[in-house]
Amino acid sequence: MATLHQDLPALGRETIRTFVTDEVRRSEPVELNAHARRAAEQLRASALSPHLLAGLCRLWEFAALATIASAVLYRPLLVEAGTGAALAGVLLLSATTIAGLQLVHGYDIAMLHSRARQLGRLVACVAFAALATGLASLWILGPNAAFALRLALWFAIAAPVLGSARMVLGSRIRLWARNGTMERRAVLVGGGTAAETFIRRLESQRDSDIRICGIFDDRDDRRSPPIVAGYPKLGSIAELTEFARLARIEMLIVTLPLSAEKRILTILKDLWVLPLDIRVSALSADMRFRPRTVSYEGEVPLLDVLHRPLADWDLVAKRMLDLAVGSLALILLSPMMLATALAIKLDSPGPVFFRQKRHGYNNQIINVWKFRSLRHEMADPTARKLVTKDDPRVTRIGRFIRRTSIDELPQLFNVMTGELSLVGPRPHAVHARSSADETFTDIVEGYFGRHKVKPGITGWAQIKGWRGEIDHDMKLQKRFEHDLYYIENWSLLLDILILIRTPRSLLKSEGAY
C-alpha cells in the first residue's frame, strides 16, 4: 500500500495493463438482470450537464454586460477617445466582471444553486469591474465626472439585471435537481461499509448534483448487501459495462477499501474502455495524498483516475465542426455522389447503397451507409470475410470507389444524423474478423476502448497509412494504437489537421481493395 497514493491517481490504459495481466476478454455483452435493465431504461434520457449550463451562463452574462455597457458608455467614449477606446471600455467592463466571477467560483454549480450566497460575490465583481475601468479611464481621459457617472449608471443597471437573472436561474436549477433534469449520474463499484460511508458523506454535502444510480459488486450478498444506504446492488462488474452502454451516466466511483489495491486495479482494467469519468473514493483516515491527485465533491475527496475523452463544450465544438464541414462537403460532393450512384446502377444489378451494422460510440450498434462495391448476390453485411486483393466479389466500379474511398461518401449522412463524426476511429463491422478468422477482440486487448468517442469517416490511423485490408494482427494493433492516441490527445485543431491531410492520404491506396 505504500505506493498506492503515487500510482493510483495516474492510472491510465498502459498503467492498468502493467499492473494486471489476467484480464478476461469479453467479445459479447453480458445480459443484464431484469432489475438492472429497468433501471438503465429509466436513465436513457440525457441530463442537462452542469458544466454546460455554467458555460452558457458565462456567455449570457458577458453578452448582457456588453450590451448594457454599449448602451451606457460606448457613445461618450467614441466622441471623446475614438472607436478603439470605446470598444476597449465595453470589453474591459464585461471581461473583468466575468473573470472576477470565475476567480471567486461564481460559476460553480453549487454557487449558481444558492440564493443570497452568490449575490454578494456578484455585486462585488461588478463593482470591481467598474472601479478598474474607472482607473483605466483616468489614463486615457483624465479626470472626467461625466464618465464616472456613466460607470455608476452601468453598475446600477448591471448588478440588478444579473442578480435577478441569477435568482431565476437558481430556482430553475433547484427544480431541475429535484426532478432529475440536471444532475451528474454516477454508479458505485463496491458495496459494503466503504460504499455506505461514501454515500453518507456525499449526501451530507449541500447542493450536491451527483445522483447515485446504483451499485455493482461481484461479491455475494453476505460481503456486499443487496441494499446499501438505500441504494440497490444492480449486478456484477461484468453487467456494469452493459449497463453503462444503455444508461446515460457520467461517472463511475470505486468505493472499495484502498487496501484492496490489486482488486481495484483489476476492476479498473475491465472498466477503462467505458467513456466515463472514473474516480476512486479517498475516504481513508490513514492515507495522505498530494493535493494535485485529489478532486473534491464538496468535502468528499476522490482520486481522479480517468476522464471522459470528450464532454460538455468539447462535444459541442466537435458537433459544430461536423455539421459545418459535413454540410459543405455534401453540397460540394453531391455531383460526384450522383455520378457514382449512376455508375453503380449501370455496372451491376442491385441497390446503389449498402447498409452495414457497425460498432458506434460506447459500443452501441449503428447502421452505416456506403456505396455498394460488391456484387449484390455476394454481399456480406456481417463482414465475416474481409475483402482482399482481386476479390471476385468486388465489381469493376467497386474496385475504383474502394481504392479512392468514394464508397465512404454516403457516411456523410451518418454524420448529419449524429451517428458518426467526420473524424474518429473507423467503425468496424459488428462481426468483423481478420484474415486468420479471429475476432478483433481476440487480437487486440481492450479493443472496445476505441469506442470511447464517436467513430469517424476518417481518422488518425487512416492518415498515418493504417487503412485497407487487415491481413496481419500487427495492422489491427497499429490501428488500435493510433485510435487511442487520437482519443487521448483530442483537440479541435487535431480534427482540422486530420481533415486537411485526408485527401492526400487517399492517394496512397496500398491495402485498399
Name residues of the chain where pLDDT drops below 70. 1-29, 74, 76-82, 85, 140-142, 144, 207, 258-259, 284-293, 380-386, 388, 433-438, 442, 468-471, 508-513
Domain span at residue 299? 4-47+183-306
Burial class (CB in 10 A: 0-12, 13-18, 19+), 437: exposed
- Is 396 contained in some domain? yes
Does one domain contain both 30 and 110? no
Does one domain contain both 25 and 159? no
Does one domain contain both 339 and 397? yes
Does one domain contain both 359 and 467? yes
**Last residue in a domain, options 159, 179, 199:** 179
> Which pLDDT value is given to residue 78?
59
> Which pLDDT value is given to residue 132?
87
Vertex 267 angle, CA 263 and 270, to 5°: 145
pLDDT tens per residue across span 197-227: 899 988 887 767 788 999 998 888 777 888 8
> Which pLDDT value is given to residue 36?
86
Does one domain contain both 391 and 321? yes
> Which pLDDT value is given to residue 422?
95
**Last residue in a domain, options 251, 272, 306:** 306
Closest CA to 124 of 103, 149, 138, 146: 103
441-480 burial, b for 16+ CB within 10 Å, e for fewer? eebbebbbbbbbbbbbbbbbbbbbebbbbbeebebbbbbb
- Is 483 contained in some domain? yes
Length of the chain: 513
Give how many domains the chain has, as a whole number: 3
- Is 339 contained in some domain? yes
- SS3 state at 88: helix
Burial class (CB in 10 A: 0-12, 13-18, 19+), 258: buried
Does one domain contain both 334 and 380? yes
**Last residue in a domain, options 126, 149, 179:** 179
Residue pair 415/322 in contact (Cβ under 8 Å)? The answer is yes
Does one domain contain both 453 and 350? yes
> Which pLDDT value is given to residue 180?
76
- Is 512 contained in some domain? no
- What is the DSSP secondary-structure string of 309-336? SS-THHHHHHHHHHHHHHHHHHHHHHHH
Measured in degrees and rounded to the nearest 5, phi and psi for residue 276 equal -130, 155
DSSP tag of 141: H
C-alpha dihedral (414, 419, 425, 427), degrees to nearest 10: -70
Does one domain contain both 254 and 215? yes
- Is 511 contained in some domain? no
Does one domain contain both 89 and 24? no
Does one domain contain both 119 and 98? yes
Does one domain contain both 333 and 431? yes
> Which pLDDT value is given to residue 61?
95
H runs (alpha helix) in 237-308: 237-246, 261-271
> Which pLDDT value is given to residue 472?
73
> Which pLDDT value is given to residue 368?
93
Does one domain contain both 43 and 64? no
pLDDT tens per residue across span 411-462: 999 999 999 999 999 888 777 766 566 677 767 777 778 888 999 999 998 8
